[in-house]
């Protein structure tokens, strides 16, 4: 069995677009041309890869398996193009980057700006994304690098992806200035069992629940949002208390909230995820180095709690 790499990439585009029509439009081809390549690929594979329907296409089990390989091919081709373009010097290059929002607003924006000063011709295409989506983009070959976080170490299920830790940032208790805990040197979670809580993203909520459970209670979560600006506005209006990591408080600090050191809320690990070999591509390697420099120079764990 021989599979044509070009047809693999066409199949990948159809799977990503969800229809042959959408893939043809994205590729600038005719629909019959795309269909013909798919027919050849299925014949070479010896099985159906797609199920056609009025709403688009669905992957068969074989199609899902092949898509993962097609993603790997796309990622390797992109890395090869970037490496060839930079063989003589890091004059050009493009890095597709994903980062969770508070990192994008702090660490990442600082690093991208610094990279631009050192290597003006290197382009960084940043998309804000939560860790699961960012990791999936790297795995699918749609991103070269992702800045993600995990509460008990690296995010789970990284598989063959590589992880480089950049920082470990504390999670702080955030309360209204008139809250009894506002003047405390350290926050005691057990004293907050009757409070209304504001929770963040799915992973942040799970971490909050775990910490409160360890302190002997189940938190009463009355509001949920992954927007750290909204979270702080709610706290400032006296609508609850919350837990926020240092990077979110560096990115935005509402004047109407008070931060309290609360060791029981733990910390989270911030790091880079990429495919094996991505660090050998000059432009990607340069961004990795810059992210490391910025993280070492201004770790998000410093100075978040201040009057």
Indicate if 159 and 182 belong to the same structural domain: no
pLDDT for the residue 83: 67
Asked if the structure places residue 306 within a domain, the reply is no
For 224, the token pair is 């949920």
Sign of CA dihedral 122, 127, 131, 132: negative
Indicate if 175 and 245 belong to the same structural domain: yes
Asked if the structure places residue 71 within a domain, the reply is yes
Contacts of 293 (CB under 8 A, 6+ apart): 111, 114
- State the Cα–Cα distance between residues 199 and 244, nearest whole angstrom: 9
pLDDT for the residue 77: 83
Asked if the structure places residue 237 within a domain, the reply is yes
Asked if the structure places residue 33 within a domain, the reply is yes
Indicate if 66 and 188 belong to the same structural domain: no
Write out the residue range of the structural domain in which residue 251 sits.
169-267
- State the Cα–Cα distance between residues 194 and 145, nearest whole angstrom: 42
pLDDT for the residue 302: 45
Contacts of 264 (CB under 8 A, 6+ apart): 187, 188, 189, 211, 214, 215
3-class secondary-structure state, position 303: coil
Domain tally, the chain:
3
Indicate if 279 and 150 belong to the same structural domain: yes
| CATH code for the domain of 120 | 3.40.190.10
Contacts of 243 (CB under 8 A, 6+ apart): 171, 172, 173, 174, 200, 204, 207, 208, 211, 262, 265
Low-confidence residues of the chain: pLDDT under 50: 302-303, 306-307
Question: Is the overall model pTM greater than 0.95, yes or no?
Answer: no
Indicate if 155 and 277 belong to the same structural domain: yes
pLDDT for the residue 137: 94
| CATH code for the domain of 13 | 1.10.10.10
């Amino acid at each position: 069995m021989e599979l044509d790499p070009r047809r693999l990439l066409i199949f990948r585009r159809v799977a990503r677009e969800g229809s042959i029509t959408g893939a043809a439009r994205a590729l600038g081809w005719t629909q019959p041309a795309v269909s013909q390549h798919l027919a050849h690929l299925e014949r070479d594979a010896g099985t159906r890869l797609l199920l056609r329907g009025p709403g688009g296409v669905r992957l068969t089990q074989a199609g899902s398996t092949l898509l993962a390989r097609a993603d790997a091919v796309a990622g390797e081709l992109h890395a090869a193009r970037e490496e060839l373009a930079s063989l003589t010097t890091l004059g050009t290059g493009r890095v597709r980057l994903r980062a969770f929002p508070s990192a994008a607003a702090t660490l990442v924006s600082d690093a991208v700006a610094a990279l631009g000063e050192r290597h003006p011709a290197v382009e960084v295409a940043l998309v804000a994304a939560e860790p699961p989506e960012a990791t999936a983009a790297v795995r699918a070959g749609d991103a070269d690098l992702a800045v993600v976080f995990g509460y008990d170490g690296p995010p789970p299920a990284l598989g063959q992806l590589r992880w480089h830790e950049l920082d470990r940032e504390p999670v702080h208790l955030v309360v209204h200035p008139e809250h009894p805990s506002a003047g405390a040197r350290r926050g005691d979670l057990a004293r907050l069992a009757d409070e209304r809580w504001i929770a963040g993203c799915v992973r942040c909520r799970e971490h909050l629940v775990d910490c409160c459970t360890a302190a002997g209670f189940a938190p009463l979560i009355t509001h949920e949002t992954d927007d750290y600006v909204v979270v702080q506005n709610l706290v400032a209006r006296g609508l609850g208390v919350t837990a926020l990591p240092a990077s979110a408080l560096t990115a935005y600090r509402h004047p109407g909230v008070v931060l309290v050191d609360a060791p029981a809320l733990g910390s989270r690990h911030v790091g880079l995820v990429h495919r094996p070999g991505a660090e050998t591509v000059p432009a990607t390697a340069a961004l990795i180095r810059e992210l490391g420099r910025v993280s070492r120079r201004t770790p998000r764990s410093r100075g978040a709690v201040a009057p």
